[in-house]
Amino acid sequence: MLGIGNETFQSRLLLGTAQYPSPAILKQAIEASRTQIITVSLRRQTPGNQDNYFWDLLKSLPCKLLPNTAGCATAQEAITTANMARELFDTNWIKLEVIGDDYTLQPNVFELVKAADELIQQGFEVLPYCTEDLVVCQELVECGCKVLMPWGAPIGSGRGLHNPYALALLRERFPDLTLIVDAGIGKPSHAAQAMELGFDAVLLNTAVARAHSPVKMANAFSLAVTSGRQGYEAGLIKASHCAQASTPLIDKPFWNLKVSKAE
């Protein structure tokens, strides 16, 4: 079970709601993914505007809404957006994003820590989108974050896990913390790899929304996340530089041995 705050979820796949061909396909993809948590940007959707159908669709889904502060570039902007989201969506959960570079969409970790510290004091359950940098993650934990969401690669790049070593180190250093790989996932195999590293969940959007068949891709990611988690829990064998026979050679029958002509 995936635990966040005081809630638990069976699904370990979180799904974004942007860039889908249509609201109908979005709904079908969410259902196929079996997700129980979906993210939504305050700037993407505001109840009462001309896009009310999208808002009504979100409310009709049996999923926890996780608003985010997408598009914010400073701590103060993110804090203001988070408070608006809390009032609008009636939740103290917030996916905290503070972007520092428009090309890579890499988080501004200095502003991120500042915003996380303030929002936690205001009673938010902060899920920060961060880099895989160990020191940054330590700062966020010291602020009070109980969930970390390090990127696999830049948002929407589909590059997968560009620093598996650093991600594995985070799992080792924070064994009791909920860790969710967020951003850069492009293939179901990328999601499975993250889960095999011991991560608690994966959040993705573009890989499903822009697929030729978002519904089929959503199902594929659901299966990959489940498979990767089961593999981790079962205990993966360690890689080896030399071969290890799966069939034991002890008690090998003597007639399989070569006999010299001299004998």
Question: Which residues form the catalytic set?
Answer: 95
Rounded Cα distance between 254 and 250, Å, is 11
Cα–Cα distance for residue pair 191/152, rounded to 1 Å? 10
* β-strand partners of 4: 7
d(CA 230, CA 141): 27
**Which tokens sit at 166?**
């650093």
Residue 59 and residue 89: Cα distance in Å, rounded?
Answer: 10
52: left (phi over 0), alpha (psi -120 to 50) or beta: alpha
- The pairing of strands 7-9 and 2-4 is antiparallel
Cα-flanking dihedrals φ and ψ of residue 41, to 5°?
-90, 135
The identity of residue 19, as a single letter, is Q
Residue with tokens 């974050």: 145
| Among 233, 230, 205, residue whose Cα is nearest residue 33 | 205
Tokens of 120: 């936690």
Q: In whole angstroms, how large is the CA radius of gyration of the chain?
A: 22
Q: What is the DSSP letter of 15?
A: E
